[in-house]
Structure 1
């Protein structure tokens, strides 16, 4: 009489049970591994333009050290935020022809789709890749009188797209704070 223990079905069952146990063990061990966290303090500003840390934080990855670097040339003030020496976010203030639609600015600068989201007041355009906002300078005496254009803020996310609503909050905060942070004083 043949034993059921050596039948092909029993061998298959043992293999399935073994694979299931192995899968569970791997899953449990991967869940119990410590995840890397942010070891740096989230900046309170992006190259001198105040942005609340709780708005910037969701757009920055884990890592050990956050740094920033800024440049100003040809009517553009640009800031690069890096984590562990890798640029993860860039923000800029740039002049464009007057009345250029904000969705067009976002499309040209961050590769956003022209059909991406635009705020009801048409001041902001945004997606998970970045966005743009129209800066309103209160003190027009700081703007070059020879300029016939509008000043825009642009935020670009490097790597994987972020949550679009988090990007919108960043674009709004950066755009609103730009005048107080010297954004309206860019020389052409």
Structure 2
């Protein structure tokens, strides 16, 4: 009889310990901070260059407030998108020597690895950190004849975070494609 009572006691004790452990896990999970959400509206443009909000959304972190600022100097136009006053995404439009490989632009401007992905048409280089793209200006008459170069864009994911590389590619493609319509093919950046 003692053996049966002993087994019953051991079984009850294991059940009590398991329920106690489960209760602690549930209690800790319930008391932890809920997952932060985006309390701001995702921008539909980056400093005047239209990019769909659904393309930018995966690259921006949760937070309360979004803001942007632009800076133009020495032929480079930069755009900084901040979430809660911390730069979350930055872009640039700048001139480089003609026929510079896009992977080299990404390496120089965003510290990308030279082995990052490059599209088959060699127009875009990208990774989870950011990417670069070659702008195609439809009207070459808007480009000063003294300029011997190509216009490139970059998108960099802020901080130490990385994003999904496919999301970065969508963003750099959208930004690069929209840049000429925003007047970015002008020499005076």
How does the TM-score come out when normalised to structure 1? Answer: 0.87
Matches within 5 A, 1:32-181: 34-159=34-159, 160-181=161-182
Stretches of structure 2 that go unaligned for 5 or more consecutive residues are none
| Segments ≥4 residues shifted beyond 3 Å | 10-21
Instruction: Provide the aligned C-alpha RMSD in A.
Output: 2.4
CA–CA separation in structure 2 for the residues paired with 1:163 and 1:30: 30
Relative distance call for 1:17 and 1:37 in structure 2 (3 A) is closer
Question: Is the CA contact (8 Å cut-off) linking 1:76 and 1:186 kept in structure 2?
Answer: no
Q: Which moved more, 1:166-175 or 1:35-44?
A: 35-44
CA–CA separation in structure 1 for the residues paired with 2:67 and 2:22: 45
What are the Cα deviations for residues 63-99 of structure 1, in whole angstroms up to 9, with x where unaligned?
1111110011111011001111111000110111111
CA–CA separation in structure 1 for the residues paired with 2:183 and 2:84: 28
CA–CA separation in structure 2 for the residues paired with 1:34 and 1:24: 14
Q: Tell me, what secondary structure is at the counterpart of 2:182?
A: coil
CA–CA separation in structure 2 for the residues paired with 1:15 and 1:187: 71
Question: Is the CA contact (8 Å cut-off) linking 1:68 and 1:80 kept in structure 2?
Answer: yes
Matches within 5 A, 1:12-31: 18-27=20-29, 29=30
Question: Is the CA contact (8 Å cut-off) linking 1:135 and 1:153 kept in structure 2?
Answer: yes
What are the Cα deviations for residues 8-63 of structure 1, in whole angstroms up to 9, with x where unaligned?
xx989866663343224323x158x5432211111111000000111011111111
Relative distance call for 1:71 and 1:186 in structure 2 (3 A) is farther
The number of residue pairs the alignment matches comes to 184
Question: How far apart are 1:183 and its partner, in Å?
Answer: 1.1
Stretches of structure 1 that go unaligned for 5 or more consecutive residues are none
CA–CA separation in structure 1 for the residues paired with 2:110 and 2:14: 54
